[in-house]
Structure 1
Amino acid sequence: MIDRLRSTVGDTMGRLWAAVRSMSPRQLAFLTPIVVVAAVAGVLVLRTGDDSTVSTNDETPIARRRIVSTSKGVSGTSKKASAPSSVPEEVTSTTQAVAPVTDVEVVPIGTDSGGKAGPQLLPVLPPEPWPQGCCAPLTNLGFDSPEGAAGPAVAVKVSNAPEVDPHTNLHRADLIYELRAEDVSRFIAVYHSRAADVIGPIRSGRTADPPIIKSLGRPMLVFSGGNDYVMAMMEARETDGTLVRMLNRNAVGSFFRSDDRQQPHNFYGHRPGWIAARGAEALPPRRQTDFFGAGAGVNTVSGQPVKVSVDIGQSHSWWQWDDTSQMWLRFQHGRPHIDKDTGYQIGRTSVVILGTGYPPSPADDRSPEAASTGGGEAWVMTGRDYIHGTWSRANPDDTWHLTDDAGNPIALKSGPVYIGLTDVKPVIE
């Protein structure tokens, strides 16, 4: 809606300027007050934020600086970036080698303030290989994070406004939730098994967040702020042991604003700094879904599609099956969804779509709150297989129970997981 209004106002202001240039001095003197008022109104509209914004009390403004590395001092990455001499060299990756790329696609990066794709280009790489082994709770694979199995679950509220695409290190989250925030979606990206330093862009917390992440155990929740209701709720949820809050004031120096994007789309943070500050207060995650070989049996397969399209609010994305990586590759805004610094496309072994409702949040009736307890229809892609069924979750402490149409538990194949909460039925092809 904001984008359409911007376009209309921009066109109108252009026509107004052309008319003004053709007027006589006497006509200009008469119309000057009207033109000034119209111009001011137009500028205010054009500066309006994205549709995912409601009134919040975000953290104190933080000095801008350019992102120079997404992995400084963190193991498990093979990409180097230019950095000041004070930045330590990164440690050699513990993941398997990346296969050579034969067909490299170049895609536009969305960085301009109008919500459209910008002119910058970045090559698209296949999904980054995941560490082999066992048994990270959220992937059933191995670890390359410095903290290992004992490390805390770190859940980060990540924006998905058009201006923030591509993201930084979203591809390294073990588990990605996608849910509505007004017209567009936001992510809750949960990190545990993978090394990842800079993460973002980070946005505000919402009332839907604690019920979704409570079943992790006692995770750290990283967010930029919130309105008075949300901030009070987050404090209460920390007091009752649901989560550990991570805001700028909790780890000064571990958050920053980049200088390549406009606010509020440029807020990032360092996961190692968060863990150093409050990681001892959080816990490793509990398993959220059943995996093959971890107490689950055989799925009743409904088919083997190649594409699934998902609408969450006005955010449209799709997942395409890739035989080479044996993953579902994510696309949005008409192009591959890639990592900002490396070009790795986001890939998931399992794509789980849960049908649910979005009643208004008690914090702001413009903000929808995903219903994450109860149950509903489920569409599960795991590996090459599609299983139709239902989901159920008795309360926020409970994990996600997925059952096929025959009543059998659905088991996921080992690997990273995406869970989308939507009130629109996906299109499976």
Structure 2
Amino acid sequence: MQQRWWVFTAAFLTTLGMCAVVACGSGTRTDRAPPGPDTSSPVGAPVLVAKIDNSPQARPPVGLGAADVVYVEPVEGGLSRLAAVFSTDKPPVIGPVRSARETDLTLLDQFGNPTLASSGAAPELVAAVDQSSLQNASAERQPAAYFRDYSRPAPHNMFVHSDQLPEGGGWPADSQLHFGPAPPGGRPTQYEEARYPAAVIGFDWSPGDQRWRVSMGGTAYTAADTGPLMPSTVVLQSVQVSNSSISDVAGSVSPLVRTTGSGPAVVLRDGQAFPASWSRPSQDAGTTYTTPTGAPIPFAPGQVWTVLVPAQF
């Protein structure tokens, strides 16, 4: 297996104006049709976002293979949590679901007014979720849609019936995903990874599948209902992170990720790594990715994963 550490060099930082270190580590996949047409995501189709528990005790997930987009967010304790965006297909059961974070209010605003499925939110955050563009369909608001699987340990055992949630707003045209051929300038790679203080998310290229096999902490990441998770495109996006005003029950401060603005990234597709710059001018806009020469980097048709990598790590 080829190993490489991604370090944004001084020249690259001069071009992109930010600092980040992203490491290059094993994984998984789901056979699924590309979301929407080959060139964009499904405009106007209702959007459901589910907050998925990604702690080791919560695995394997259910329903994640059907997501159009999966965001990996840093949370308390150096761990990660997922925000799975469903529009093309909504599986009957999704989970385990956990609570929303302040980061979600800005990150998910680009999807208009999607339904947000979660176990709830910190008391200090509930009012902000209710007042946001998101349709708060938490277990507190829609209790009949949620259930617990008692074969799993609590609190990592809450699931949701997607068809019992209110329908979300349509996917806005301004934040569509764009698919197409890869630009020149990619570097062949077999494996890349992003590191949080207490989590490692790996992507191993599978030539036979033409997908990236996902791993968590060096172990293949597999959905209980559909099998190995394998996105066609992965974005390792360097972001600024600060402390929010919210802490968990253990006193750990919840990170607040800035997903508007610009910065460096690495786009993985077709067995290649493309150095990139990301840009998102406002909360209701989608994120664009360009090469150092300014050429757009479209996604390969299929599931897209975006890992939000804190710039200081």
With normalisation by structure 1, the TM-score equals: 0.61
Partner of 2:202: 318
CA distance, structure 1, for counterparts of residue 176 and residue 169 of structure 2:
17
Helix, strand or coil at the partner of 1:299:
coil
CA distance, structure 2, for counterparts of residue 195 and residue 249 of structure 1:
21
- CA deviations on 1:331-375 (whole Å, 9 max, x unpaired) are 113221001244x10000100010012101133471111111111
CA distance, structure 2, for counterparts of residue 231 and residue 168 of structure 1:
26
Question: Is the Cα contact below 8 Å between 1:177 and 1:189 reproduced in 2?
Answer: yes
- 1:162 partner amino acid: P
Q: How do residues 263-274 of structure 1 correspond to structure 2 at under 5 angstroms?
A: 263-274=154-165
Q: Is the counterpart of residue 262 in structure 1 residue 143 in structure 2?
A: no
Helix, strand or coil at the partner of 1:232:
helix
Partner of 2:141: 250
Q: How do residues 395-406 of structure 1 correspond to structure 2 at under 5 angstroms?
A: 395-406=282-293
Q: How do residues 365-376 of structure 1 correspond to structure 2 at under 5 angstroms?
A: 366-376=253-263
Q: How do residues 28-427 of structure 1 correspond to structure 2 at under 5 angstroms?
A: 127-131=29-33, 134-135=36-37, 151-182=45-76, 183-237=78-132, 242-274=133-165, 278-279=166-167, 282-286=169-173, 287-292=175-180, 299-342=183-226, 344-364=227-247, 366-423=253-310
CA distance, structure 1, for counterparts of residue 73 and residue 34 of structure 2:
29
Question: Is the Cα contact below 8 Å between 1:175 and 1:417 reproduced in 2?
Answer: yes
Partner of 2:8: none
Question: Is the Cα contact below 8 Å between 2:146 and 2:159 reproduced in 1?
Answer: yes
- CA deviations on 1:197-234 (whole Å, 9 max, x unpaired) are 11111111111001001111211111111222210111
Helix, strand or coil at the partner of 2:108:
helix
Q: Percent of aligned positions with the same letter in both sequences?
A: 23
| Structure with greater helix percent | 1
Higher relative contact order structure (alpha carbons within 8 Å, sequence separation ≥ 6): 2
Deviation at 1:315, TM superposition (A): 1.1
Helix, strand or coil at the partner of 1:412:
coil
Deviation at 1:285, TM superposition (A): 4.9
- CA deviations on 1:211-266 (whole Å, 9 max, x unpaired) are 001111211111111222210111111xxxx1111022433321011111121111
| Structure with greater strand percent | 2
Helix, strand or coil at the partner of 1:226:
coil
Question: Is the Cα contact below 8 Å between 2:35 and 2:303 reproduced in 1?
Answer: no
Deviation at 1:132, TM superposition (A): 5.9
With normalisation by structure 2, the TM-score equals: 0.83
CA distance, structure 2, for counterparts of residue 308 and residue 389 of structure 1:
15
Question: Is the Cα contact below 8 Å between 2:34 and 2:303 reproduced in 1?
Answer: no
Q: Which has the larger radius of gyration?
A: 1
CA distance, structure 2, for counterparts of residue 307 and residue 171 of structure 1:
21
CA distance, structure 2, for counterparts of residue 188 and residue 205 of structure 1:
9
Aligned residue pairs: how many? 281
Where does the alignment leave 5 or more consecutive residues of structure 1 unmatched?
1-123, 141-148
CA distance, structure 1, for counterparts of residue 312 and residue 236 of structure 2:
9
Structure 1, 214-223 or 361-370: larger mean CA deviation: 361-370
- CA deviations on 1:243-297 (whole Å, 9 max, x unpaired) are 11102243332101111112111111111111xxx21x5223544433217xxxx
CA distance, structure 2, for counterparts of residue 412 and residue 150 of structure 1:
20
Helix, strand or coil at the partner of 2:305:
strand
CA distance, structure 1, for counterparts of residue 32 and residue 53 of structure 2:
24
- CA deviations on 1:377-397 (whole Å, 9 max, x unpaired) are 110012223210111111211
Change over 3 Å in CA distance of 1:291–1:131 after alignment to 2: closer
Where does the alignment leave 5 or more consecutive residues of structure 2 unmatched?
1-26
**CA RMSD, Structure 1 to Structure 2 (Å):** 2.3
Helix, strand or coil at the partner of 1:221:
strand
